[in-house]
């Protein structure tokens, strides 16, 4: 939950189960229906006794750009593997090569050697 927690908020538009959980935390949080909804969220996310991802797991995996194969079996539960969850809003860029090329001067201001970068 440490990795999922920061993404639980009422304004969460990208993952309905996270948004719904947040909604039930801030509205009527002590009502029986809200308590049951929060309980169902945790059961669906962490305590899946089946062989396939639950609807909650599927939505959360999709949000984190993870696959069903990223779930792990812990005792009798199919559950999230925290090591496979990456923040979907933090992108890592890798640079394959940095090339420099010299272009012939055209006599125009600013012309001359220019850098070319290749990003992948």
Going by C-beta distance under 8 Å and a sequence separation of 6 or more, which residues neighbour residue 29? 35
Which residue in the block uniquely carries the two structure tokens 């993404």? Answer: 7
Could you tell me which residues are beta bridge partners of residue 72?
Answer: 79
- The pLDDT, as a whole number, for residue 58 is 95
Residue among 33, 4, 38, 35 at smallest CA distance from 21: 38
> Domains of the chain: which residue ranges?
5-84
Establish how many alpha carbons lie within 13 A of residue 23's alpha carbon, considering only the half-sphere containing its beta carbon: 13
Element at 99 (helix H, strand E): strand 97-101
Strands 72-74 and 77-79: antiparallel
Q: pTM score, two decimals?
A: 0.67
58-94 pLDDT per residue, tens: 999 999 888 999 999 999 999 988 888 877 777 554 4
pLDDT for the residue 99: 47
């Amino acid at each position: 939950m440490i990795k999922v927690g920061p993404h639980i908020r009422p304004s969460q538009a990208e993952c309905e189960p996270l948004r719904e959980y947040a909604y039930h935390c801030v509205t009527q949080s002590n009502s029986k229906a809200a308590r049951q909804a929060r309980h169902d969220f945790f059961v669906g996310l962490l305590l899946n006794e089946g062989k396939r991802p639950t609807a909650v797991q599927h939505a959360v995996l999709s949000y984190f750009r993870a696959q069903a194969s990223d779930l792990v079996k812990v005792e009798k539960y199919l559950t999230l593997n925290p090591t496979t969850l990456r923040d979907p809003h933090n992108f890592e860029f890798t640079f394959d090569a940095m090339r420099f090329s010299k272009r012939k001067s055209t006599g125009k201001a600013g012309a001359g050697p220019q850098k070319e970068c290749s990003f992948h």
